[in-house]
Homo-oligomer: A and B are copies of this chain.
Amino acid sequence: MDEDHAERILAELEDYQISHGSLLKIPRSLVDFESPVALARPVGVSIVPTIFPQPQFEQAQYIQRLFNELYINVAEDDIWLDTIIRPLARVDEFVAKLWSIWERVRDEGEIQHLRCGIFRSDYMLHCEPSTLGREATSDNDNDLRKGLIDSRLKQVEFNTYSCAGGTHATIVSNMHRYLARKGIHGATNLPMNNALRSITELLEEAHKAYLPTDRTRQTVILMTVQANNVNICDERPIEYALSECDPPILLYRVEFSDEVLRNCSLGPNHELLFQPPTRIQPFEVSVVYQRAGYDPQEYDEQGVEARFMLERSCAIKCPTILSHVAGLKKVQQELTRPGTLERFLNPESAAMLRPTFMPQYPIDQSEDGGKALQISSDREAAENYVLKPSLEGGGHNIFGQDIPDFLETIPSQEKNRYILMEKIHPPYSRGVLVSPLMISQGPVISELGILGACLWRRDEQRQEKVEIIKNSRGGWTFKTKPHEVEEMSVVKGYGCFDCPSLF
């Protein structure tokens, strides 16, 4: 792409992004500019949509409802989860706190049996390293497409908690279809994205399914948020869209955990009451939508108490603490063990999902654990692996040859906190990206996330039976980064929101 052309698209991009709130707030500390209100900058985006093979895109869409079902069933099987999480809790303080919150809720008896989940299954394309066409960096478009089309869809992780990106992805997909229609770029076959609408509709459905303990009280949705979040453009549009429902639904933001403790309380029937500073009467909370509470640092004593209050309340949780722990990497790894999927799904469904798993190992005393330890103590063997802690997101991973040295610093009993996963080797594509950090053109790697929107009820008699009320695909996210960057983080400026140009 020549510079003139890139400049023209950039001018269109920045105006579209500024007009549509495809932005990040700028932390005041970063910028020397007097202003009583926050400044904003466009979030990183692709300048031209990156190509992606249509069959794999459709496959990911197709299996999403199976993954939703899998994780709903996992989240409601607290007996099985207990066998996985309890050992992990012994060596991982964060997991221990989450699990103890669950145990307190369980012992007290759950009041609310409706649950809500917004999930996101993340994928990359994968080639066997031997067949990986690094010639894709050449200018030969056919080589590049062949590398992509021959690759297989592999799951990076399954997110059950505080899944972000839906709004940004919706706007960027609209933007690229708009630019294509105007002939600003020539990208074709750009799929629609209903991520924002799906999230809003799910919350609306959950809100309407909630029966207030006191029918005279107005109900509202509560969104937990982190203080000083720069990514409000991903969260706020959900609030604004809910206010357009008929009748309008109010969503209030509370910072986790300070404001939760200050402004929320439990009523006599465990109804969650929210008292905004500007009102005399409290609201009753129908749904707690979690966009905070995923970082171990949020769980000091206050954080634990705040989360416990939310979990034991009769508000519908999006998601529950059981769904939260179901998203730990450790669970993902356990699900790859032969026979485990079949505990939760029929064999046909299990057979659809299994091919998307990369080989994964625990690091423990088991046979598989022994294999993992062997791999991870050998620099050459470790080269093809990633070591992942049981945390949200991908920011804490240890890659390849760094693994042996890193593991030596970890006391033996704590190694169980990690799982070892074979590296995904994505074929390169070519891309043009602009982020707050850079404009870059060259080999890129994309990550496809498929959102799921679910509402279900656990049988009140605590049978195994789960009644799934809504199990739907909820749009997608598509992020692209320069191939040499390890992290996909958009907020940090490496990853860019993108729209697949399907072929």
Which positions in A face B, CB cutoff 8 Å?
4-5, 8, 10, 13-21, 23, 25-26, 30-33, 35-42, 178, 181-184, 232-233, 236-237, 240, 243, 248, 250, 252, 276-279, 434-436, 438-439
**B16/A236 in contact, CB under 8 A:** yes
CB nearest neighbor in B for A283? B183
Q: Determine if B232 and A19 form an interchain contact, defined as CB atoms under 8 angstroms apart.
A: yes
Shortest Cβ distance from A142 into chain B, in angstroms?
25
Name the B residues within 8 Å of A250 (CB-CB).
181-182
- Given A39-B26, A40-B23, A277:B178 Cβ within 8 A: no
Residue in chain B with minimal CB distance to A279: B183
What residues of chain B lie closer than 8 Å to A439, measured between beta carbons?
Answer: 36
Q: A31: which of B13, B31, B279, B434 is its contact (CB, 8 Å)?
A: B31
Q: A25 — which chain B residues lie within 8 A by C-beta? A: 14, 18
Copies of this chain: 2
Provide 16 A-B residue pairs closer than 8 Å at the C-beta atoms, listed in order of the A residue: A13-B37, A14-B25, A15-B232, A18-B25, A18-B233, A19-B240, A31-B39, A36-B436, A39-B40, A39-B41, A40-B40, A181-B248, A182-B243, A182-B252, A183-B276, A184-B278
**10 A-B pairs closest in CB distance:** A19-B21, A14-B37, A19-B236, A18-B40, A37-B42, A36-B439, A15-B232, A31-B33, A14-B38, A32-B32
CB of B8 within 8 A of CB of A278, answer yes
Task: Tell me the bound Cα distance from A279 to B252 in angstroms.
Answer: 48
Q: A18-B25, A40-B18 are known contacts. Are A32 and B35 too (CB-CB below 8 A)?
A: no
Q: Which residues of B contact A252 (CB under 8 A)?
A: 182
- B38 and A237 form a contact (CB under 8 A): no
B33 touches A37 (CB 8 A): no
Max count, chain B CB within 10 A of own CB: residue among A5, A10, A18? A18
A87 to chain B, nearest CB (A): 42
Kindly report which residue of chain B lies nearest to residue A167, judged by CB atoms.
B19
> What is the minimal beta-carbon distance from A84 to any residue of chain B, in angstroms?
39
| Assembly CA distance A278 to B183 (angstroms) | 7
Distance in angstroms from A123 CB to nearest chain B CB is 29
